[in-house]
Amino acid sequence: MGKIIIREAIIEDAALLLQFIRALAEYEHLESEVEATEEGLRQSVFIDKGAEALIAEYEGEAAGFALFFHNYSTFKGKRGIYLEDLFVKPDLRGKGIGRALLQKVGGIAARRGCGRFEWACLDWNTPSIAFYRSIGAVPLSDWTIYRVTGDNLAGFSHV
């Protein structure tokens, strides 16, 4: 196994994060949905601190990333961590990089006293599903995610 380093992303990593986000979108067949920009990431992640990001390096090469933020569980009475994205370059998968990223974010959640560490996964992504199950994650079959975007979201500004 090669050497894996997980480090906190810094503002100078905005272009790299965007590159990874676009690669993830391509893998998920969602390229047309990417609206993020380098400047937007610099502002929302590093200046506004709306999220946190980790960069994985494998033998000195940028290999992947994890982006996460805090949410809150009223039932637990604690904040949690929601993993928005986890991505490893296709040619570097199977080397423990995804596991290292997931463990790092999970460790952050545990050290911060979070009540939950959760994420979503596309139903067809069987390699990821198998990986998540192998680390003890369980799918929530009794919940459906709802989303409001675009014009529908803009309509809320009139209320």
58 in catalytic set: no
Question: What's the rounded Cα separation, in Å, for the pair 94 and 112?
Answer: 29
pTM: 0.92
Tell me the per-residue pLDDT of 118-131, one tens digit each, with 9 for 90 and over.
999 999 999 999 99
Residue 1: what pLDDT?
66
When the pLDDT of each residue in the chain is averaged and rounded to a whole number, the result is: 95
Dump pLDDT digits (tens) for 29-66. 999 999 999 999 999 999 999 999 999 999 999 999 99
**Alpha carbon distances (Å) from 3 to 62, 106, 108:** 12, 20, 21
The catalytic position among 58, 72, 132, 146 is 132
Compute CA distances 103 → 1, 59, 100, 117, 122, whole Å: 17, 19, 5, 11, 20
- CATH class belonging to 4-158: alpha beta
* Domain-wise residue ranges, the chain: 4-158
